[in-house]
Structure 1
Amino acid sequence: MTPKLDAIYADHVLTSLYDVLNPAGVDTDFYLSLPNPNSTILDVGCGTGLLTAAFAAGEHSVVGLDPAPAMLEIARKRQGGREVAWIEADARDFELGRSFDLVVMTGHVFQVFLSHADVSKVLSSIRRHLKPGGRLVFDSRNPLARAWERWTPEYSRRAVDHPVLGRVETWHEIENVTPTSVSFSSFTSISDRPNPLVSRSELAFRTQAEIEALLKDCGFASRQWLGSWDCSPFEAGSPEIIVIAA
């Protein structure tokens, strides 16, 4: 079953803004530091392929997997995109017929899978594709840091200049907070359009203990926990839960 995609991953206007709103940063540097020389790498939920193509530029053998055709369309056209094998597939159930030294899920992709059943399917699919000694590395926002409290127009509003669309303003509004997930809307106002584009999303917020239990159940015997992109150990107040599992 094809997953339902939020508009930010499916609408061609919104996907054209993705890289402008989500440029390379300290998280990109962290992930690029992970591979050993000449590694085989799978990027699950690769999106527009910014990190994926950067891996390929490092002379690794790279596969980018994503369910969103509009995102992969950008990925294939980006500089270095021809060096990557791009696969349109659902992370919950894929079979590539090969295994990898490193599998990554970046940009909090882990949080789009709302049920424990779906997360288990994703982790099991990845586990099947890891070489002996291979690693899975991914990130999830720490619920104790309550990042959603800043997903309000007051704190989240920002403006960027797009080479085609001109001045673009974006902001978020929270719709619902439960003990396990947060629903919100993202608004994108473009200068020549009367009404903003709206994308509605829901993200799961899991504790470190919940993630550890899921990994253990899916056969990951080794689990290392970091709390930020500077590789500091995970603590209760850390903004991120960064997992290195094998």
Structure 2
Amino acid sequence: MWHGEYRHPRLVDVYDAEYPWGWEDDFFLSVLAEHSSSRVLDLGCGTGRLAIAMAAAVHEVTGVDPARASLDAARRKPGAERVRWIEGSVESLPARAFDAAFLTGHVAQFFVDDAEWENVLSALRRALDDGGRLVFDSRDPAGRAWEQWNPEDSRRSVVLPGGEVVEVWTEAAEPGGDGVVALTHHYLFRDEQELTSSARLRFRSEEEIRDSLWTAGFRVDQLYGGWGREPVGLSADDELIVIAVAETRGV
């Protein structure tokens, strides 16, 4: 199944159990607190972990995701009633409706084609008020994360809330010249049902990210390599964590 961990109810449960609150969530909340951002967009909100926390911090939060199973899981969580949930995509966003927009969990890498990424950035620029911030993470291709996505190195056990143990592993191909990596996650359940989830991820360089943001009307304010705000290339996190500002430019 394509992106099955977001679309298949059984895999959504595994995803939620495998990815509890982490220091990346602490980072995003700290960025949100640094400026006045009353209207917040969480694009690709998934099962709502961060959106609910942002709403609890007295922000007006809209969570948008195309995967109904993920949104169903989000709506069942305590505090979910504080968030406006929308099943849809970036094209449905109104103009100048937000002060800050977040794409977390490496959602930015799901937009593989350059034209698709450009359209997303353009839609986000329209949705943000002047001076609004766009915050997202993308894996640094220099870290070569795909080399660890093999059955031996990636195998792990995920314990669901009811105690069931699910065996999970990932397989990935080497990226082509376009920086795209094809991968498949495998999930083996106690009843011996095996489900798979496939995806393609785009690994963009720092230069590619900066250029695409500038073209879409953003100025990069900060760009970190790790969740402790380390410079790019100096963290074992191997991230490209971007804070960009929506600009108004003269002709």
Normalised by the size of structure 2, how large is the TM-score? 0.91
Residue equivalent to 2:8: 11
1:41-94 alpha-carbon deviations (Å, 9 max, x no partner):
100100000000000011111000111111111111111100000011122x22
Distance in structure 1 (CA, Å) of the matches to 2:30 and 2:64:
20
State the partner residue of 1:118: 116
CA distance in 1, matches of 2:84, 2:119: 23
Shift in Å, 1:222? 3.7
**C-alpha deviations, 1:147-185, integer Å up to 9, x for none?**
110111111111122134711110001235213111111
Does 2:106 correspond to 1:108? yes
The answer to whether the Cα contact below 8 Å between 2:136 and 2:243 also exists between their aligned partners in 1 is yes
**Contact preservation (8 Å) 1:225, 1:233:** yes
1:171 is aligned, of 169, 187, 201, to 169
**When the two structures are aligned, how many residues end up with a matched partner?**
241
User: Equivalents in 2 of 1:237, 1:23: separation in Å?
Assistant: 22
Q: Which residue type is aligned with residue 119 of structure 2?
A: K
Give 3-state SS (helix, strand or coil) of 1:74's partner.
Answer: helix
Amino acid at match of 1:218: A
Partner of 2:93: helix, strand, or coil?
coil
Structure-2 separation of matches of 1:124 and 1:97: 11
**Aligned position for 1:69:** 68
Letter in 1 for 2:18: L
Structure 1 residue identity aligned to 2:26: D
Preserved CA contact (<8 Å) 1:142 1:206? yes
Report what 1:46 is aligned to.
45
Q: After the TM superposition, which residues 153-164 of structure 1 pair with which residues of structure 2 at under 5 Å, given as runs?
A: 153-164=151-162
C-alpha displacement of 1:98: 4.9
Q: Counterparts in 2 of 1:1-246, with a 5 A limit?
A: 5-35=2-32, 36=35, 39-91=38-90, 93-96=91-94, 98-164=96-162, 166-179=164-177, 180-193=179-192, 195-235=193-233, 239-246=238-245
Q: Percent identity?
A: 41
Show CA shifts across 1:197-225 (max 9, x none).
11111100010001111101101134421
Task: Tell me the SS of whatever aligns to 1:221.
Answer: strand
Q: Separation in 2 of the partners of 1:158 and 1:44?
A: 28
CA shift, 1:97, in A, is: 5.0
Residues 40/23 of structure 1: CA separation in 2 closer, same or farther (3 Å cut): same
One-letter identity of the residue aligned with 1:102 = A
Name structure 1 gaps, 5 residues minimum: none
Against the structure 1 CA distance between its residues 215 and 38, is the aligned structure 2 distance closer, same or farther, given a 3 Å change threshold? closer
RMSD between aligned residues: 1.7
- TM-score, scaled relative to structure 1: 0.92
